[in-house]
Amino acid sequence: MSVHLIADTAGKLSALRSMLEQQHEVTSELLSSGASRCGKYNAVVVAADLRIVENITALKELFGKLGHVRKRIFVVDQKSRLFVVQAYALGATRVFVDPVNQASLLGQLADGHHCETTSIQTSHGAREVAKDGATTIGSMFFAAVGGKPIDVVSAKGTGGRIADNIAEDGLSSWLETVRRHHEGTYQHCLLVTGIAADFGLSLGLARPDLERLYSAAMFHDIGKAKIPLTVLDKPGRLDAQERALIETHPVAGYEVLTGNAAISLEVLDAVRHHHEYLDGSGYPDALCGASISDVVRILTISDIFAALIEHREYKPAMPREQAYEIIQRMHGKLEKALVAAFRDVALNR
């Protein structure tokens, strides 16, 4: 594998080289050189202090040239939500905190290395839209962490491109692309947006209704920007206190977006209530029955399905057939007619 290293100090380059050069073909450059090699790399590994504005500016310029590289791994200096989100906003597909474990880094480079031979061939368009989607979501999370306004217009535009790509290339291609190139919370948000868009298309929603649906999907988990990474990315079952903290994210997202004139009331409602169930057992407001809007009902099914089929380091992606069976067994919680209508999306599209 061809791996290109970029770092802001010679010491970081040397440390990364010593980890990787026995197993991979390695090239490298200092971030301050300003003259990136634009080769056909399989992966780029960046080690830089993201507290330095000049580093961020230089990386933005570099990734204008290197954004086509499938694996874009960042090693950041501190385990801070701000720096991790900044790395994803710059185009990272995976983030480690320094000092990075050699086995973890090698494993990430090896993961999916031969995925080009899988049966589903994803389009260049899907990869580009997914990359733009991850960047948009990263920017939203970065703004939410810093208490800055969310770029709603950009997020809606990205949601529209996701819907258009799925209409053209199909949901299966989108799911494969996202799971191959992205991870964690951003993978989940991209999957939910794609699934919700395809569900809306399959239901024949009018364009304004479809726009509300994919916009709600883009924004639905923005409140997770307020959850500590140690909880959000915990590789295993959450304890009761951690679960309670996770369950604050719908209200946190609602509060982040409230007052933004570009966000409709329907989208705000979906952000707050996408974990509500028809039987009143959901959160945060224990809504039931007619109190739950159609947009929320569609988004909730899409969200559950995405969570089941996404890949995490501590769990493989569940087969779509098994995920749909679980949704079918959620009697009384989800609208039966919508679950039946979702079958084609879940299994065939």
Q: Which CATH number is 48's domain given?
A: 3.40.50.2300
Last residue of a domain, one of 78, 113, 148: 113
Q: Is the model's pLDDT at 113 over the cut of 60?
A: no
pLDDT, tens digit, for every residue of 120-148?
Answer: 344 557 888 888 888 899 889 889 988 88
- How many domains is the chain built from? 2
Q: Is the model's pLDDT at 112 over the cut of 60?
A: no
Last residue of a domain, one of 85, 113, 141: 113
Q: Which CATH number is 340's domain given?
A: 1.10.3210.10
- Across the range 226-234, mean pLDDT stands at 84
Same structural domain for residues 19 and 94?
Answer: yes
Same structural domain for residues 297 and 174?
Answer: yes
Q: Is the model's pLDDT at 335 over the cut of 90?
A: yes
Residue 34's alpha-carbon distances to 6, 9, 44, 57, 87, in angstroms, are: 11, 14, 16, 11, 19
pLDDT of residue 230: 83
**Distance (Å, whole) CA 341 – CA 347:** 11
Same structural domain for residues 42 and 106?
Answer: yes
Distinct helix (H) and strand (E) counts, the chain: 16, 5
| CB atoms inside a 10 Å sphere around CB 154 | 15
Same structural domain for residues 84 and 171?
Answer: no
Same structural domain for residues 53 and 108?
Answer: yes
Let me know: does 106 contact 19? Beta carbons within 8 Å: yes
Same structural domain for residues 26 and 129?
Answer: no
Q: Is the model's pLDDT at 309 over the cut of 60?
A: yes
Same structural domain for residues 208 and 286?
Answer: yes
pLDDT of residue 18: 93
Same structural domain for residues 279 and 304?
Answer: yes
Same structural domain for residues 78 and 178?
Answer: no
What burial class does residue 197 get, using C-beta atoms within 10 Å of its C-beta: 0-12 exposed, 13-18 middle, 19+ buried?
A: buried
Confidence of residue 111 (pLDDT cuts 50, 70, 90): low
Q: Is the model's pLDDT at 340 over the cut of 50?
A: yes
Token reading at 285: 């407001």
Same structural domain for residues 214 and 257?
Answer: yes
Same structural domain for residues 324 and 185?
Answer: yes
pLDDT of residue 67: 66
**Distance (Å, whole) CA 215 – CA 229:** 25
Find the angle CA(317)-CA(322)-CA(326) to the nearest 5 degrees.
110
Strand spans (E) along the chain:
2-7, 25-30, 43-47, 71-76, 94-97
| pLDDT above 70 as % of the chain | 91
Last residue of a domain, one of 93, 113, 133: 113
- Return phi, psi of residue 25, to 5°: -80, 115
Let me know: does 268 contact 232? Beta carbons within 8 Å: no
Same structural domain for residues 141 and 89?
Answer: no
**Dihedral (Cα; 47, 51, 52, 58), 10-degree rounding:** 50
Residue whose tokens read 């960042």:
74
pLDDT of residue 116: 34
pLDDT of residue 186: 81
Residues of the domain holding 65: 2-113
